[in-house]
Amino acid sequence: MPFSDYKTALVTGASTGIGAEVVERLAKQGLRVHAVARNAERLDELARRTGCVPHAVDVTSTAALTELVDGLEIDVLVNNAGVSRTGNILTADEFAVDEQVAVNIQAVLHLVRLVMPGMVERDLGHIVNISSIAGVYNFGGNTIYHATKSAVHTLSRQLRVDAFGRRVRVTEICPGRVETEIFGRLLGDMDRAQREYYDGYESLKPEDIADAIEFAIASPRHVNVGHIEILPTFQVPGGLNFERRAD
């Protein structure tokens, strides 16, 4: 089992939801897990529960990320941190663009840039990127989110090219709707998000995503699970709109 090959992991967006679940899973597998998020209080609670190493760091700060990984040998990198904003490109403001680019793709690029060379040198490593079905399917709204997650999708494929010939595996996890706090933060109201997006729906749970990540990492060392698209059974992406106009 490749988990025995690895000693350390770094997980972003680790204070809640998918990130916290992944930290717990990797810690149970015996890895020393560096958990990264902005919420120090939640990270401290996670550390007490799992034994992870908490880092209260804003992933949009490249200087902070550089300082964080300095001197660390990271065997498993899980790029999970992500944000979204409502609206399409016609309604997006400057902050919506800059924040999503900074969190969803800029931070991912910098962490890979900082961590992957060590993996290549050691001939050992696994990078897991959390993208979204929004990165591979087009549907209305959240245009900036679609664009940034599409970039993560393309990056994940490109990293396999960059690591060619070395035992560095790259997995993209591409989820549909997962019951996390992302919609609550999007609306600024957790109760409203629960009512609008989760009540009455069979959504994915963070543990479902953690199961997929655990499967990919635990696969035999000669196996690279490159892309896992995981959706609720009752959620189907796709569709076609065709506007009919008389003029």
Q: Measured in whole angstroms, how far is the alpha carbon of residue 45 from the centre of its chain?
A: 21
The CATH number of the domain holding residue 58 is: 3.40.50.720
Each of the 247 residues of the chain gets a pLDDT tens digit; together they read 589 999 999 999 999 999 999 999 999 999 999 999 999 999 999 999 999 999 999 999 999 999 999 999 999 999 999 999 888 999 999 999 999 999 999 999 999 999 999 999 999 999 999 999 999 999 888 899 999 999 999 999 999 999 999 999 999 999 999 988 777 777 777 788 788 778 888 999 999 999 999 999 999 999 999 999 999 999 999 888 888 888 8
Question: Of residues 6, 137, 145, 197, which has the active-site annotation?
Answer: 145
* Structural domain count, the chain: 1
Q: Using CA atoms, how far apart are residues 19 and 9, in angstroms rounded to an integer? A: 12
The answer as to whether 240 is a domain residue is no
Inside any domain, residue 121: yes
6 is catalytic: no
Do the domain assignments include residue 235?
no
Domain with 70, as residue range(s), is 2-230
Residue 148, domain member (yes or no): yes
87 found inside a domain: yes
Is the residue at 239 inside a domain?
no
Is the overall model pTM greater than 0.75, yes or no?
yes
In a domain, 243, yes or no: no
Q: Is residue 112 part of a domain?
A: yes
